[in-house]
A and B are shown apart, each in its own frame.
Chain A
Amino acid sequence: MRSTTLSSDGCEADGLPHARFARNRAAVISVCTATLVLSYVWAPYVHSGPVICPLHGLVGLPCPACGLTRAFCALATRNGMEALRQNALSLPLFLLFIAAPLVSICELWRRRRCAFYSFLFSKRVAFVAGGVVIAYHLARCAWMLHTGSLVEDYLKTSWTYALLH
C-alpha cells in the first residue's frame, strides 16, 4: 500500500499540519459513525418523520438525496430491497460510510495518508460519478412520474402544498 509519509516535524509531505490531519480524520470518524448509529436508532420512526429536504418542502420535487434517510435506516436494519426501492445510491454510500472510518482509524494509527484512494482526487472519476448520479436521478424522477408517486409522495407532501390546501 503506497502512502504519503509525515516528515520529522509532524507534517505530512504535502504540507498539511498533523493537527489538521488528525482533526479531519476525527471528523470523518464522527460523522460516519453518528450516521450509522442514527440510521439504526431512527429506523422505527423514519416513515413518520417530517420533510427535511428544502427542495421537497418548497418545490415538491425530489433532490438526488431524497429517500436516502429511509434507505440508510432500511440498510441499518438489514433490509436491502427496501433501501434499493427508496434510493439505489444508498448501497455504495452505505459501504463508503462503513469503509471511511476504518480507513481513517488506520491513517491515524499510521500517521500517514493511505494512497490507495488517490483515484478519488481524479476530476475525470468525479465527472463520471456525477454523470451517474444525474442519470439515475432523472431516470428515478421519470419512473416516479410514471407511477404517480412524484405527485402523491412528493408534491402532495410538500410544505407549499400543505400551505395552499
Chain B
Amino acid sequence: MVERSSIPVHRQDPILVLILGFVTCGLYLIYWNIKTAEVMNAVTGRPVISPVVAVIAGCCMPVNVYFYYQCGQCLEDLGKLIGRDLKDKSTLLVVLGFFVPMVAAMIVQSHINEIYDAKQ
C-alpha cells in the first residue's frame, strides 16, 4: 500500500498549467511531464511512466498521446489512494492529448491536486 506522505509534491493550479504552457511555448510542459511521471510512479508504487519518455512526450505528438494514455491508467490507483472511485480516463485523455494537450494536462493536474487536498 502506497503512503500518501511518500508522494512527491506537485501541486499546481490547473489554469496556471495552461497559462505557463502557452507563455513558455510548451517548454513548461516538459518539466510538468517529468513531475507528473514522478507522481504517477509514486502513486502506483511501480515504474509505470518513464521520466525520459515524459520529456519526449513534451516535444513529440504520438508520444504525448501515449503519455496521457499511461496517465489515464494510473488514475484508478490515484482514486484508490484518495478513497474515491476514479475511472480509467485513458480514452478521454488520449483524445484531448492529441488535439489540446494543455487541457489534458489540466485534467491530470486537477486529479493530482486531489491527493494533497485529501491530505488536509
A binding-site residues for B, Cβ under 8 Å: 14-16, 20, 24, 27-28, 31-32, 34-35, 54-55, 58-59, 61-65, 68-69, 89, 93, 96-97, 119-123, 125-127, 129-130, 133-134, 137, 141
Contact = CB atoms under 8 A, between A and B. Distances in A.
A70 to B, nearest CB: 13
Interface string B31-70: 1001001100100011110111111101111110110011
Given A15-B46, A27-B69, A63-B25, A126 B52 contact: yes
Contacts of A69: 61
B27 A126 contact: no
A65 B59 contact: yes
Given A65-B59, A130-B34, A125 B66 contact: no
Given A68-B61, A130-B58, A20 B34 contact: no
Interface of B: 22, 25-27, 30-31, 34, 37-38, 41, 45-48, 50-56, 58-63, 65-66, 69-70, 73, 100-102
Contacts of B100: 54
B59 A126 contact: no
Nearest to B52: A120
13 contacts: A24-B70, A59-B22, A62-B25, A64-B26, A64-B59, A65-B60, A89-B59, A122-B51, A127-B51, A129-B55, A129-B56, A133-B55, A137-B27
